Amino acid sequence: MRSEGPSPAILALGTAVPRYRVPQAALCEWLVEALADQPALARWLRSLYRLSGIETRYSCLPDASRPPSESRFVPTRPVAEAPTTAERMAIYEREAVEIGAAAARRALAGYAGCSEEDVAGPAAEITHLIAVSCTGFFAPGLDIAIAGRIGLRPGVERSIVGFMGCSAAFNAMRLAAEIVRSRPGARVLVVCAELCSIHAQPRLDRVNLTVTSLFADGAAACVIGADESGGRERFVLNRFSTTYAENTADAMSWRIGDHGFHMTLSPQVPRMVGQIAAPAVDQLLAGRPRPPRWAIHPGGPSIVDQVAEALGLTPEQVAPSREVLRNYGNMSSPTILFVLDELRRRMREEQPPAAEDAVAMAFGPGLVAEMAHLTYLPAGIVLEPTDGAAQRRGERVAAPVA
């Protein structure tokens, strides 16, 4: 049964990307240069990149600024010359901490209204840290490294959500929400950091080249706590749901190999996602009307297309997802927080800003659909129960701060 106290809410968001900005068209031509002796594959690659819906991505690797013949990550590289998993993990340990800490600082600065260089105060309020990643491991881990980098208390309670793929931010937010419900004074910092580019594989099959055309590096963080006042804008976390589609385990996988992690990705994944989207949303909403706002993890352009078709969404409703895909690509777990940040920006700019419900969703290996029903509240608006029955159901209405 839900607590009748304050609901858990995303109180602040922060995002970060690594230093190398890579235009999609330039990366395509870089790969075409490497495929000089395979013109048919190069033509297919140009079409793939043109239809990707991506204009720029970010990477921790400088390789696209050099001739492909000098890169050990180019897919034409012989397997024996490609970086080993150990070499890739060394890059991960250095770079994931950097961007993860940067995103965390921005979230803490947004939470406290301070500069990113002066987050000691809000860092001291954090009671729990949840680190999320599927692109690397080391120990002491990402949680310890980020906690030390941003100055969290030594007694902060830590958890890791590992190897759960693009939908893992929902697992972390659900855990954070349960912590806040059981301990209303808790402040949970969720940090998602992924370096997909370090797992570029030395293979020229079309599945591998498709994966290479979509994934990118990035980090995002959020502070989750009780929605106790209307003094700040926030996303109230009303409820979560998860749906596992049976007999789809082979559609998408992510496994550790000798030369990094490698993905299998069926071309049927967008269709499968479209088939489970509507039933999963109905399960989440449990009879409530579908909301006007949507945050869809843009795993690729066809994922957004299929979800929009299945749910009857307008181009405007999926615009935040397409904007993130256009500017950043698919960064795995942080991506949905980028979409929520973009949705928040658009809602904030509307005059006057209004309280509105939203559904956020992402899809990952399983196949699984992870979803959350949220309410965006601008500063100055609180949620209040309409009556006793509504309060028992966890339903509230927006009202100005008294």
CATH number, domain containing residue 338? 3.40.47.10
Instruction: Return the structure tokens found at 330.
Output: 């698919």
Distance of alpha carbon 86 from alpha carbon 41, whole angstroms = 31
312-335: pLDDT as tens digits: 999 999 999 999 999 999 999 999
pLDDT 10s digit of each residue in the chain, 402 long?
344 567 999 999 999 999 999 999 999 999 999 999 999 999 999 999 999 999 999 999 999 999 999 999 999 999 999 999 999 999 999 999 999 999 999 999 999 999 999 999 999 999 999 999 999 999 999 999 999 999 999 999 999 999 999 999 999 999 999 999 999 899 999 999 999 999 999 999 999 999 999 999 999 999 999 997 667 899 999 999 999 998 899 999 999 999 999 999 999 999 999 999 999 999 999 999 999 999 999 999 999 999 999 999 999 999 999 999 999 999 999 999 999 999 999 999 987 888 999 999 999 999 999 999 999 999 888 877 544 444 444 455 565 544
Shared-domain flag, residues 241 and 221: no
Report CA Rg, the chain: 21
Shared-domain flag, residues 321 and 203: no
The CA-based dihedral angle spanning residues 137, 140, 142, 145, taken in that order and rounded to the nearest 10 degrees: -150
State the pLDDT at residue 4.
57
151 within some domain: yes
Shared-domain flag, residues 186 and 282: no
- Boundary-marking domain end, from 162, 192, 226: 226
Per the structure, the count of domains in the chain is 2
Domain, as residue range, for 308: 234-400
Total-model pTM: 0.94
Shared-domain flag, residues 116 and 262: no
Cis peptide before 325 (omega within 30 of 0): no
Annotated catalytic residues are 166
Shared-domain flag, residues 163 and 247: no
219 within some domain: yes
State the pLDDT at residue 383.
74
Shared-domain flag, residues 199 and 132: yes
- Boundary-marking domain end, from 184, 210, 226: 226
Shared-domain flag, residues 263 and 145: no
2 within some domain: no
- Boundary-marking domain end, from 226, 248, 271: 226
Shared-domain flag, residues 213 and 238: no
From the number of C-beta atoms within 10 Å of its C-beta (0-12, 13-18, 19+), residue 149 rates as middle
Shared-domain flag, residues 106 and 198: yes
115 within some domain: yes
Instruction: Return the structure tokens found at 224.
Output: 């989750």
Shared-domain flag, residues 254 and 315: yes
3 within some domain: no
